Amino acid sequence: MHIHIPDGVLPFWLWGGGYAVILVLLGLFSNFLRRGGSKIALAAMFTAFSLIVMSVPLGLPVHLNLLSLVGIILGPIWSFYVAFVVNLVLAGFGHGGATIVGLNTLLLWVQAAAAYYLFSYLLRPIFHQVSLRAAAAVFVGLIISFGFLVLLAALPHQRPMQLFAPSHHHHHHAEESEHAIHHHAEEIEPTEIDGHHDHGQSPASDETFNLTVFVGLSGPLFLLVAIFESLIAAGVAGFIVKVRPRMLIR
């Protein structure tokens, strides 16, 4: 599972930066596409499968993504292409986030690449049973991806520690001077309903984002689906080890 960042919640420098990073990565990895051979067809199949899985909501508009598993099987470079194409298609096909394709790709790629390295190297000495290792790699990969999401949500704000304040207005205690309150109110440019204050900037850059609420709302949901996805990963890995072990045991 991943939180699909919608359009208009992050400032331009952040989503533009996301696009810049993936353009550089697309350029760097372009040789893999040219010399891919049958791997192109295989990665495209995983992309199509991921698209199907991601377009099936589990009650709420929440879904599995299985990209960590795809990362374990295809490796970090091909999983980058899978993450990019999945986000590009989903952005157009109803999930939104056309301006955030770069960052959403990085979010998915981080979990796929992390799961790959965890499964192939870091967790190998700890978990000898492949299914357990896959479950742990997927779970940690998802947690890393969530951490990255929280970082992205926090980045537009200049003073990250203040983000964890219970509420925007609670910054101001009763004992604070009237001057301090007045000064703070001047700092924050309110969202205009009459349409006379467009400066081409996202209001997300205002210091009005409560990260505690964000983590409190998305965290439990994320954790629940991450556990479910890890269980699925364990099952998939167990099945593959029985049927075609060379896919996972390198």
- Angstrom distance (rounded) from CA 50 to CA 71: 12
Among residues 1, 14, 83, 89, the one that binds other proteins under rule CB under 8 A? 89
Q: Is 115 in contact with 69 (CB distance < 8 Å)?
A: yes
The DSSP output letter for 122 is I
Among residues 42, 122, 143, 155, the one that binds other proteins under rule CB under 8 A? 42
Query: Which tokens go with 5?
Result: 């960042």
Site membership for other proteins, residue 133 (CB under 8 A): no
Minimal distance, residue 125 CB to other proteins, in Å: 25
Q: Which stretch binds other proteins (CB under 8 A): 50-58, 108-116, 119-127, 136-144?
A: 50-58
Minimal distance, residue 177 CB to other proteins, in Å: 21
177-206: which residues touch other proteins (CB under 8 A)? Answer: 188, 190-204, 206
Q: Which amino acid is at 88?
A: L
- Angstrom distance (rounded) from CA 188 to CA 245: 58
Site membership for other proteins, residue 168 (CB under 8 A): yes
**Nearest residue (CB) to other proteins, 177 versus 191:** 191
Binding track over 57-86 against other proteins, x by CB under 8 A: x--xxx---x--x---x-------x---x-
Query: Which tokens go with 67?
Result: 């990209």
Cα Rg of the chain, angstroms: 21
Query: Which tokens go with 125?
Result: 């000495």
